[in-house]
């Protein structure tokens, strides 16, 4: 049973009780969520392919790992302003607890921002004993050894792989303590201990091999693009070209690799938008990926995957890089890739920014509005970390008949429950409930479609919607632009 009721004004039931699958929640989460653990990649071949063995700095036995872990916490306190600040400035007011959708989904206090941070903060404060950070001194080796017994690395791993790094807590925290940054710091240490979930490791291996998360080779990509443009031609009667590896182009388009499998509508939208705008554009077969799983894991991989886009832009002599639909990738793109591109005089913008701008300037002529009622789910990394809030709304308002704002919108948006690298099969019971608050929020608007320009949302929400038997459909933003451009039924896009 839920211990604290969270409900909408005017409703009697807790949001969890509003789901037809509530009895399953009771079975799964009555004793918290500590039983749902991300697995650890054991395949040496994969770990070596993604250079984790180069990053590993400690032998894989428990006591060495624990000692390394606490030593690194001490080092982070000296080298990372954010980490130190967040370890020292929490007043334990508890405002963050009921803002975290992981807590909303599990009601496990360890699975809340302050509970999660305190797993580390307890170690940090014991290391600094009575000074609580005043004296910049880390305990000596002997004192650290005494701490080792109290550390439960398994518990830390479990709960740090139940954080989606959505930063909802940071927005609501009176001090702006960003739990996502603590999570990223702790996962960085886990990578240095050679630990990473298999799904993330295998995805990264694909990026090493092909430049994208889905292991799409150039031939496979060309096949999908041929298929996509022939469908566009059937639906619109227009001949378009999906350009790949053009020698020189003004604009380099970086799609999400999932657009080549499940979200073809988004790929069609992007091709149509750029063709209609008359851009001299191309894709790069070595950089068919906007996502950046390095953001969830460690600095090395974040930079490596970010630099892959920079190199592609230089290869194609592009003046501008246009970023496809993706949430977490936008955070890495905007805050790492764009400043790196700027060093070479190249700009980077999002396809949603470009489309909103083109619609406002009348550069894109829509044939008619899509006959649908839609609501918009703000992806966390667009709203809180990426400043992309009004553009998707502008696009939807001009492409659909009715746009309904849901209650938790903009910076207050609820996370999909699978961000931060939690798109793991082993966490499925957690995922379907972590996504429920957002789906329920969208469902309450009475909309037919829930829309978000984010690939993780596109992978996660259909599962959540199906699990809870909600009469909603999930689509990307560019899908609607495509449908409105040519007057096509959105369900056949």
Partner 1 sequence: MYNVVTYSLYFILPYVSLIILVCGVLYRITLWLNAGKGPLGLYLGLYRLVIKPRQESLLSSVKHILARMFTYYTILGSSYRRDYSTWLGVLLFHWGIFLLIAFHLHLWLPQLIISESLMFILGTTVGALTLAAGIFLLVRRIRVQRIYRVLINYLDDYVAISWVIVIVVLGLALRLTAPPSLFSEATKWALGLTSLKYTPPPSNLLFYAHVLAVELFMVYIPFAKMIHPFSMPVNPALYGRFEDINEIERRVIRKLGW
The rounded radius of gyration (Å) of the Cα atoms in the chain is 23
Least distance CB 473 / partner 1 (angstroms): 25
Q: Of 218 and 315, which CB lies nearer to partner 1 in the complex structure? A: 315
DSSP string for residues in 72-115 = HHHHHHHH-HHHHHHHH------TTGGG-HHHHHH--GGGSHHH
Least distance CB 74 / partner 1 (angstroms): 12
Distance, in Å, from the CA atom of 238 to the CA atom of 462, rounded to the nearest integer, reads 31
Q: Which of 451, 459, 385 is nearest to 422 (CA)?
A: 459
Q: Of 224 and 481, which CB lies nearer to partner 1 in the complex structure? A: 481
DSSP string for residues in 185-241 = HHHHHHHHTT---HHHHHHHHHHHHHSSTT---HHHHHHHHHHHHHHHHHHHS----
Least distance CB 417 / partner 1 (angstroms): 16
Distance, in Å, from the CA atom of 415 to the CA atom of 100, rounded to the nearest integer, reads 9
- Give the SS3 label for residue 369: coil
Least distance CB 181 / partner 1 (angstroms): 7
Distance, in Å, from the CA atom of 424 to the CA atom of 339, rounded to the nearest integer, reads 31
Q: Which of 239, 232, 307 is nearest to 479 (CA)?
A: 232
Q: Of 237 and 362, which CB lies nearer to partner 1 in the complex structure? A: 362
Distance, in Å, from the CA atom of 47 to the CA atom of 67, rounded to the nearest integer, reads 22
Distance, in Å, from the CA atom of 269 to the CA atom of 232, rounded to the nearest integer, reads 9
Q: Of 117 and 447, which CB lies nearer to partner 1 in the complex structure? A: 117
Judge contact between 436 and 16, C-beta under 8 A.
yes
Distances (CA, A) of 77 to 62, 85, 206, 370, 374: 23, 8, 34, 53, 46
Write down the residue that tokens 């518990």 correspond to. Answer: 155
Least distance CB 428 / partner 1 (angstroms): 25
Chain centroid, CA 18 distance in Å:
26
H-type alpha helices, 237-384: 264-276, 294-297, 299-315, 328-332, 338-343, 351-360, 380-383
Strand order in the sheet with 449-451: 400-404, 370-376, 449-451, 473-475
Least distance CB 346 / partner 1 (angstroms): 9
Least distance CB 107 / partner 1 (angstroms): 9
Q: Residue 165 region, left (φ>0) first, then alpha (ψ -120 to 50), else beta?
A: left
Distance, in Å, from the CA atom of 233 to the CA atom of 226, rounded to the nearest integer, reads 11
Least distance CB 386 / partner 1 (angstroms): 8
What residues have CB less than 8 Å from 451, skipping those under 6 apart? 374, 375, 376, 377, 392, 396, 474, 475, 476, 477, 480
Least distance CB 302 / partner 1 (angstroms): 4
Least distance CB 311 / partner 1 (angstroms): 16
Q: Of 331 and 468, which CB lies nearer to partner 1 in the complex structure? A: 331
What residues have CB less than 8 Å from 297, skipping those under 6 apart? 187, 188, 191, 196, 200, 204, 421
Least distance CB 368 / partner 1 (angstroms): 25
Q: Of 20 and 176, which CB lies nearer to partner 1 in the complex structure? A: 176
Least distance CB 400 / partner 1 (angstroms): 21
Q: Which of 91, 154, 84 is nearest to 119 (CA)?
A: 154
Q: Of 284 and 297, which CB lies nearer to partner 1 in the complex structure? A: 297
Least distance CB 63 / partner 1 (angstroms): 25
What is the sign, positive or negative, of the torsion defined by CA atoms of 266, 267, 270, 276?
negative
């Amino acid at each position: 049973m839920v211990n604290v009721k969270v409900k909408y004004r005017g409703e009697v039931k807790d949001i969890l009780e509003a789901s037809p699958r509530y009895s399953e929640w009771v079975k799964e989460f009555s004793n918290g969520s500590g039983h749902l653990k991300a697995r650890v990649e054991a395949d040496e071949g994969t770990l070596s392919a993604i250079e984790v063995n180069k990053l590993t700095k400690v032998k894989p036995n428990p006591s060495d790992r624990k000692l390394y872990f606490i030593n690194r916490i001490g080092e982070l306190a000296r080298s990372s302003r954010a980490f130190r600040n967040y370890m020292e400035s929490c007043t334990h007011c508890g405002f963050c607890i009921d803002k975290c959708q992981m807590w909303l989904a599990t009601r496990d206090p360890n699975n809340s921002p302050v509970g999660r941070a305190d797993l580390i903060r307890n170690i940090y404060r014991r290391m600094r004993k009575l000074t609580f950070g005043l004296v910049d001194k880390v305990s000596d080796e002997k004192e650290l050894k005494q701490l080792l017994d109290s550390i439960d690395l398994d518990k830390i791993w479990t709960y740090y792989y139940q954080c989606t790094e959505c930063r909802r807590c940071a927005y609501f925290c009176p001090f702006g303590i960003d739990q996502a940054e603590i999570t990223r710091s702790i996962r960085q240490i886990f990578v240095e201990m050679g630990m990473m979930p298999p799904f993330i490791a295998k995805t990264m291996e694909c990026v090493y091999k092909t430049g994208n998360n889905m292991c799409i080779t150039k031939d496979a990509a060309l096949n999908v693009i041929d298929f996509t443009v022939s469908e566009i031609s059937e639906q619109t009667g227009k001949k378009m070209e999906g350009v790949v590896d053009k020698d020189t182009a003004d604009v380099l388009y970086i799609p999400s690799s999932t657009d080549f499998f499940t979200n073809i509508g988004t790929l069609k939208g992007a091709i149509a938008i750029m063709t209609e705008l008359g851009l001299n554009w191309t894709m790069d077969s070595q950089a068919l990926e906007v996502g950046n799983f390095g953001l969830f894991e460690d600095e090395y991989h974040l930079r490596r995957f970010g630099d892959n886009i920079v190199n592609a832009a230089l290869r194609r002599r592009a003046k501008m890089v246009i970023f496809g639909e993706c949430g977490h990738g936008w955070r890495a793109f905007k805050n790492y890739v764009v400043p790196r591109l700027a060093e070479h005089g190249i700009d980077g913008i999002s396809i949603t920014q470009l489309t909103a701008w083109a619609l406002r300037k009348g550069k894109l002529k829509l044939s008619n509005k899509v006959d649908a009622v839609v609501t918009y789910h703000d992806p966390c990394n667009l709203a809180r970390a990426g400043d992309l809030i009004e553009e998707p709304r502008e696009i939807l308002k001009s492409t659909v008949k009715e746009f309904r704002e849901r209650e938790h919108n903009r910076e207050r948006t609820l996370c999909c429950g699978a961000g931060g690298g939690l798109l793991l099969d082993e966490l499925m019971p957690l995922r379907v409930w972590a996504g429920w608050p957002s789906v329920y929020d969208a469902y309450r608007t009475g909309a037919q479609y829930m829309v978000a320009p984010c690939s993780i949302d596109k992978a996660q929400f259909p599962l959540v919607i199906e699990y809870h038997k909600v009469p909603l459909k999930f689509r990307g933003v560019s899908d609607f632009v495509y449908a409105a451009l040519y007057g096509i039924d959105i369900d056949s896009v």
